Amino acid sequence: MLVEELYSSYFDIKCSRLPYSNDREYLTDLLAFLDIILNVACAYKGMNESNAPLNVADAHLRGLSISPAEIVDCLLSYRLDERSKGVSPAIKRQVEMAQQHLQQRLAASSAAGFVPRVEILCKKFRLNDFERFLLLLSLGPAADRKYESIYAFLHNNVKERQPTKGLAISLYKLFFDIEDYHIGRTIKGEGNFLRFLAEGGTGSPGEPGLADKIILSRRVSSFIFGVNRIDHELAEIAAIFDRTERLDGIYIRHEQYQQIKTYIENILHNADRLGNVLNIYGEKGIGKKHMLKHVAQALGFNLIFVDFSKLKLQPHHAIPRLLDKVYLEYMLTGSIPCFINMDQDDDYYDEPDKGRTRDMRLVTTIEYIAKEFWFAVWLSRVKEDELTAHNIRLMCMELPMLTVKERIVLWDVYSRVFNLAEDVDTVLCANQYILTPKAIKDVLETAGDLALCNGRSVIERSDILQGVKQHSVNQLGKYATLINAVFTWDDLVIDEEQKREMQMICNQIKYRSVVGEEWGFHKKTPYGRGLCALFYGSPGTGKTMAVQVMANELGLDLYRIDLSQLVSKYIGETEKNISDLFRRAKNINALLFFDEADALFAKRSEVKDSHDRYANADTAHLLQKIEEYEGISILATNYVNNIDDAFKRRIKFMIHFVFPTPEVRLKLWKTILPETAVLEEEIDFEFFAEKFELSGSNIKEILINAAYLAASEHTGIANRHIVEAVKLNFKKYGKILTKEDFGYLGIAK
């Protein structure tokens, strides 16, 4: 083959001005250009080593080789003092013709509206001429394994089957001019190609050098060959949202949707600097991702959701490399990065005197965004303060907890999807349950499964109540215990007046939206919209059971506040704990129960020393927080006179639980005894109810003790067992009963 035939041997001259119709045509020409380069390089290497022309047919370059006559006079500058100048002008001319062929066809393709994926890649990552050459060298083995043999020959090492930095520099210098600056950057592993498109990239172990292999990233080669899937290393950390996916509609918050859409649209059209960040924050499940997906569909871009909770599990030194891969997806798929699960641990203080340390993985991530991404979205539960400490252009938008009206809309929408019974009042559900959009849907899905388990296709209110309970978790951490509220109104035996007052409390929760929002009372009450009630009375009169009944009726999680976790000996820690408790309790489906409340809500004393001053400060802080709290909280105490008067002003209901009357006691005796209990004889409940003044808890204790006495005798429960149990109960309080106290039942049989 003559030198003048190099170009014509690899390219169809007739097509030099025709556009490419597809990527395959362009790749064929691109690899033909690589074949010319390598054919000449193999011949040049053979001349240098053996002073004889090399037939490179064995290298599988289409079986072509340069003729011996051409090598001597034209192919190579063979004299030692001229070798540094590279190949001869005649061969350079053939290479230039091949380049012109590619450029002319690319120009025609662009005019016809087609841009090959390789060119898209080069433009997106702003590759210079030498980096494009590196891309071409590394593309060869990905397209055809014959190139592995050629690179092994050029390296003179059968194990070196991939191009190295040293080989790339040597080959490029044969045909083109290159500045030392680019050589230095390549050796160091710098530049967009080596950072984003080659395997290894930023953070690869070991010192970089000329022997480093140049291997095209599998993600990039897949893109070039038409497979556009997320990098396998990111599969567990990130996910792509395709704007063509089907979504549920937007039923609420159209104004906020429009604000977010307008802001992002403005950023897309006027990106004048890097580091634009939109921080959308709100409770988990409030709809941040859903709204963002709708904006993406409307504006025509994809999203790449990066799970920071998984990203931060990686070693710190690996974070930049993984973010480089996110950047690659961002460029290849046209996806805007969206970082999710950004929230820090809820335990802000591990020790009383030690604050939370700064998360350096979080800092690294934000610094990367500021330097590399022109726009990113940040989804978090609360506003991320760390963002303000960096050189970024920040916009914060909150998605607050749903109003009752918004919950009504969602319950109404989902009621058309799920088969609800006719007596299920969705308005009442919206008032009772403080749930996010996702939680409403999850609860109804669980309720539907529960209905099917019970052989029903229709969801009843009891199914919804169970669904709410199943999705509840202890969100108050160490400060409270989640209690399973199982008692109902039928289990609670108290005076009708007390029960009526409790029902009034429940109604204020059920119909809060009607009075507060529809009738406008909330406009007159900018704060203090919560409901606080005080249950007081002697021990055992039913206060705790009453709280459980209310929680069950309202479908709320019942949290018994652990006072030992709130109060601290360290100055200022009690206030922090109180603030943290109410911060956690905000916008959750909960009833806060402060048992033995006089220990925490006690009267403030005269300040005689520093201890009194700080104790009063704790009480004052608790006053503020309980007034700001918009949920329901119930205090229970045996000593109402010990409660600070300032608390009484903030308490809407004060219910006095008194010792039951004989009529109520009779009902308690009959109600507490299980229907399945085995009796040896008829129990004279009327006698016990009339004769002994006992509270409900005392009666329960007596019946249980009597049952154990009967079981130990292998008999049913008899009056004598109850007599014995009553004696034990009164003895506990220092009162000894005689046979005469039990009348006819005290006569020995």
* Per-residue pLDDT at 681: 92
Residue 84: is its pLDDT beyond 90? no
**CA trace torsion 152, 153, 154, 157 (10° rounding):** 50
User: Which pLDDT band holds residue 48 (cuts at 50, 70, 90)?
Assistant: low
Nearest-angstrom CA–CA distance, 635 and 558: 13
Number of neighbours of residue 615 by Cβ within 10 angstroms: 16
The more confidently predicted of residues 278 and 530 is 278
Q: Which residue has the tokens 């919560």?
A: 530
φ/ψ of residue 741, rounded to 5? -65, -20
Residue 55: is its pLDDT beyond 50? no
User: Which pLDDT band holds residue 455 (cuts at 50, 70, 90)?
Assistant: very high
* Per-residue pLDDT at 172: 93
Nearest-angstrom CA–CA distance, 666 and 661: 9
Of 80-94, 151-165, 468-482, 622-636, give the lowest mean pLDDT range.
80-94
Residue-wise pLDDT tens digits, 286-340: 999 999 999 999 999 999 999 999 999 999 999 999 999 999 999 999 899 999 9
Read off the tokens for 368.
Answer: 């990367």
* Per-residue pLDDT at 615: 59
Residue 63: is its pLDDT beyond 70? no
Read off the tokens for 388.
Answer: 């303000």
Residue-wise pLDDT tens digits, 412-436: 999 889 999 988 989 888 888 888 9
How are beta strands 393-398 and 302-307 bridged, if at all?
Answer: unpaired
Residue 343: is its pLDDT beyond 70? no
Read off the tokens for 338.
Answer: 């969206």
User: What percent of the chain lies above the pLDDT cut of 90?
Assistant: 52
Nearest-angstrom CA–CA distance, 560 and 633: 10
Read off the tokens for 64.
Answer: 């072509």
Residue 52: is its pLDDT beyond 60? no
* Per-residue pLDDT at 433: 85
Residue-wise pLDDT tens digits, 295-309: 999 999 999 999 999
How many residues can be counted in the chain?
A: 749
User: Which pLDDT band holds residue 582 (cuts at 50, 70, 90)?
Assistant: confident
Read off the tokens for 144.
Answer: 């055809």
* Per-residue pLDDT at 451: 94
Residue-wise pLDDT tens digits, 621-676: 887 888 888 888 999 988 888 777 777 777 889 999 988 999 999 999 999 999 99
Residue-wise pLDDT tens digits, 536-573: 998 888 899 999 999 988 888 899 998 888 888 787 88
Nearest-angstrom CA–CA distance, 516 and 656: 27
Residue 510: is its pLDDT beyond 50? yes
* Per-residue pLDDT at 47: 54
Non-local (6+) Cβ contacts of 226 within 8 A are 23, 117
Inter-residue contact 557 to 590 (CB < 8 Å): yes
* Per-residue pLDDT at 74: 41
* Per-residue pLDDT at 629: 85
User: Which pLDDT band holds residue 46 (cuts at 50, 70, 90)?
Assistant: low
Residue-wise pLDDT tens digits, 137-149: 999 999 999 999 9
User: What percent of the chain lies above the pLDDT cut of 70?
Assistant: 88
**What mean pLDDT is predicted for residues 442-466?**
93
User: Which pLDDT band holds residue 51 (cuts at 50, 70, 90)?
Assistant: very low
Residue-wise pLDDT tens digits, 383-418: 998 999 999 999 999 999 888 889 999 999 998 899
Range ranked top by mean pLDDT from 55-64, 113-122, 496-505: 113-122
Non-local (6+) Cβ contacts of 601 within 8 A are 594, 619, 622, 635, 637, 643, 644, 647
3-class DSSP state for residue 356? Answer: coil
What is the overall mean pLDDT for the chain?
85
Nearest-angstrom CA–CA distance, 596 and 610: 25
* Per-residue pLDDT at 42: 85
Read off the tokens for 131.
Answer: 């980096």
pTM for this entry: 0.77
Max intra-chain CA distance, the chain: 137
* Per-residue pLDDT at 205: 53
User: Which pLDDT band holds residue 509 (cuts at 50, 70, 90)?
Assistant: confident
Nearest-angstrom CA–CA distance, 317 and 203: 7
Burial 163-178, CB ≥16 within 10 A → b, else e:
bbbbbbbbbbebbeee
Inter-residue contact 343 to 374 (CB < 8 Å): no
**What mean pLDDT is predicted for residues 52-71?**
40
Nearest-angstrom CA–CA distance, 484 and 489: 16
Read off the tokens for 187.
Answer: 């050796």
Of 192-196, 216-220, 269-273, 503-507, give the lowest mean pLDDT range.
269-273
